[in-house]
Amino acid sequence: NAGVTQTPKFRILKIGQSMTLQCTQDMNHNYMYWYRQDPGMGLKLIYYSVGAGITDKGEVPNGYNVSRSTTEDFPLRLELAAPSQTSVYFCASSNEGRLTDTQYFGPGTRLTVL
Amino acid sequence: ILNVEQSPQSLHVQEGDSTNFTCSFPSSNFYALHWYRWETAKSPEALFVMTLNGDEKKKGRISATLNTKEGYSYLYIKGSQPEDSATYLCAFNNAGNMLTFGGGTRLMVKP
């Protein structure tokens, strides 16, 4: 099992550009999550999904969009990149989304918007 | 928005020292407290999930305690080693679908 994979690992964008961060998991997990991590701030939830075709906003969804057409994939879209979106982005998944379920994280994508 | 705080923000110790740090969370509507270990350039990895007041979990030299009535958890590392250098994250769940993470404690162990 590869677990949770993310691409790309690094990216530099100009203000106003768009991009999609890819996330794939091969554990057949129903729940998937996108977080951003800013220095000293912990992980903030952007969006999450409880299964294919279902997505919901987290704490900081503005400026992002997601889709979940399959169980495996949960891409995160930035339409108009802004410097405030410079961050490290983590994708995660969990089996049932129960409150005690461990979340398994990908290696992260480091995004810089200039 | 729930407030989960970790202290200290960073910590430097010598190899062999024992250390501990704190995660504070709201004491009402508690359901679960997670600890993760995050090494630089790697994925955060789960250490413990704790649900019961007074619970204590142990994994090798690392252990954690939980006090849900007063809203805190301690993480202890006995005899720190350089490979323990990482950021330790706690995350609180109060029965929603979301985990609320603290800012982390960055531990650096000098050989």
Residue-wise over B69-101: b if at least 16 C-beta within 10 A, else e?
eebbbebebeebeeebbbbbbbbbbbeeebbbb
* A60-76: average pLDDT: 96
Residue type, position B24, single letter: S
The residue among B66 and A99 whose pLDDT is bigger is: B66
Percent of chain A exceeding pLDDT 90 equals 85
* CB interface of B with A, residues 23-62, below 8 Å: 31-32, 34, 36, 41-46, 49, 51
Contact assignment for B103 to A42 by CB distance below 8 Å: yes
Judged by CB atoms closer than 8 Å, whether chains meet at B43 and A4 is answered as: yes
| Angle, CA of A32, A47 and B28, to the nearest 5° | 90
Please give the structure tokens belonging to residue B30: 């508690």
The bridge status of strand A19-25 relative to strand B56-59 is unpaired
CB of A42 less than 8 A from some CB of B: yes
pLDDT at position A70 over 70: yes
Under DSSP, the state recorded for A103 is P
pLDDT one digit per residue (tens) for chain B, 111 residues:
678 999 999 999 999 999 999 999 988 888 899 999 999 888 999 999 999 999 999 999 999 999 999 999 999 999 999 999 999 999 988 766 678 899 999 999 999
What's the CA dihedral at B48, B98, A43, A40 to 10 degrees?
-90
Q: Report whether A95 contacts A103 (CB < 8 A).
A: no
CA distance A19 to chain B (A): 22
The pLDDT tens digits for A8-26 are 999 999 999 999 999 999 9
Task: Tell me the one-letter amino acid at B64.
Answer: A
Radius of gyration of chain B (CA): 13
Contact B43 A90 (CB under 8 A): yes
Residues 6+ apart with CB under 8 A from B60: none
Q: How confident is the model at residue A40 (pLDDT cuts 50, 70, 90)?
A: confident
Distance in angstroms (rounded) separating the CA atoms of residues A17 and A58: 23
Give chain A's largest Cα–Cα span. 40
Is residue B82 classed as helix, strand or coil in its secondary structure? helix
**A55 inside 8 A of chain B by CB:** no
Overall average pLDDT of the A82-96 stretch: 93
Residue A62 has pLDDT above 90, yes or no: yes
In chain B, the residue whose alpha carbon lies closest to the alpha carbon of A103 is: B46
Cβ pair A32, A91 in contact under 8 A: yes
Residue B96: the pLDDT is 67
Token pair of B1 as six digits: 């928005």
Chain B residue with Cα closest to A105: B43
